Amino acid sequence: MGSIFSAIGRGINAIISAIAGVIETIVSAITSVIVTIFRVIEDILCCRCCGSRRRSGGRRGRTYDFHFENLFAGNMPIWLVTGSSRGIGLEFVRQIAQNGDEVIAAARNPENSEALQILSKSFPHISLIKMDIDDPESIKTAAQEVEKILQGRGLDYLINNAAKGGNDKPSEIDPERFFSFMRSNCLGPTLVWQALIPALERSTRPEGPVVVNMTTGLASFGLDIGVKNACYSTSKTALNMMTYKKSKEKPNMIIFIMDPGWVKTDMGGEGAMLEIPFSVSEQYKQAVNATSKDSGTFKRYDGAILPW
């Protein structure tokens, strides 16, 4: 008798969970559609005000790639961006969310970034998670959080953006400094990718999931940039080789390195050449248009192929 009641109880639980799941999907789809409609209206109004022509994808030079069919099907492309508290990472989150995709914004201390907090309140499809790429335990915990957010869905894009910068010469380097750059700029992004392989392999993106490892022109032998930023450049050159190895190990993924250009962030400084939104909108296009031909390549933000 007891087992009959317990079976009935389990049945009722399953029905309630299924109904809750359906309601959650519907609410999430409706919210996303409303946000997207507001963005389209804003886009149209903006174009009228500034008299600019609406290009396929562009609002003030930004790419817009709406996914109405995915919204209704409950499978908008899903991105994860590391180092999203400021600079290039924060702008990636903003542009991805504005384009209507879902984004998991990972940051060392998301609660300390006012800009990220404000952004996540404006877009229901931004989830914030804590991730310190210097700490393997933090990466593992963050990957578990990601699985909770994904609920069995796949991760379509990983933007491995977080990094540390700094200037030095080879003659000045001490072991601690050297290893701290290698940890943040090569090992960190590699462990992030490793922890997210199962999620990436569930991606339903037709051409395969995209992994962008953010590098720098300073890490290129071919560009011959000189003595500066020795630890930073060396750690990014190591990341470049690791990216090449990843692309060989996982031909089912599209994995490449990207130089964002010299950008006006805390790392790039005021004197840099590129505005953050411009660099990111160009990089965004490289990611969404990526095919298997791009795997294992060294790209600049505008799609130019750089020498290793």
Ligand X SMILES: NC(=O)c1ccc[n+]([C@@H]2O[C@H](COP(=O)([O-])OP(=O)(O)OC[C@H]3O[C@@H](n4cnc5c(N)ncnc54)[C@H](OP(=O)(O)O)[C@@H]3O)[C@@H](O)[C@H]2O)c1
The correct pick among 142, 200, 230, 267 for binding ligand X (CB under 6 A) is: 267
Of the listed pieces 7-15, 33-41, 126-134, 285-293, which binds ligand X according to CB under 6 A?
126-134
**102-107 and 126-130: which strand pairing?**
parallel
Residue closer to ligand X, measured from CB, 234 or 265:
265
Residue closer to ligand X, measured from CB, 109 or 167:
109
Residue closer to ligand X, measured from CB, 36 or 84:
84
Here's the x/- map for ligand X, 148-187, by CB under 6 A: it reads as -------------xxxxx------------------x---
- C-alpha span between 127 and 223 (Å, rounded): 38
Q: What is 44-97 written as a DSSP string?
A: HHHHHHHT---BTTEETTEE----HHHHHHT---EEEESSTTSHHHHHHHHHHH
Strand partners of residue 259: 300
C-alpha triplet 214, 215, 216: angle, nearest 5° = 135
Size of the site for ligand X (CB under 6 A): 28
Residues 223 to 262: which contact ligand X by CB under 6 A? 259-260, 262
Q: What are phi and psi of 75, to 5 degrees?
A: -130, 60
Instruction: Report the candidate in 70, 69, 120 with the shortest Cα–Cα distance to residue 93.
Output: 120
- C-alpha span between 173 and 171 (Å, rounded): 6
Here's the x/- map for ligand X, 187-216, by CB under 6 A: it reads as ---------------------------x-x
Residue closer to ligand X, measured from CB, 99 or 185:
185
Residues 110 and 117 sit within 8 Å (Cβ to Cβ): yes
State the minimum distance, in angstroms, from the CB of residue 213 to ligand X.
8
Residue closer to ligand X, measured from CB, 69 or 266:
266
Residues 84 to 113: which contact ligand X by CB under 6 A? 85-89, 108-109
Kindly list the residues in this chain that would bind ligand X in the complex (CB under 6 A): 83, 85-89, 108-109, 132-134, 161-165, 184, 214, 216, 259-260, 262-263, 265-268, 272
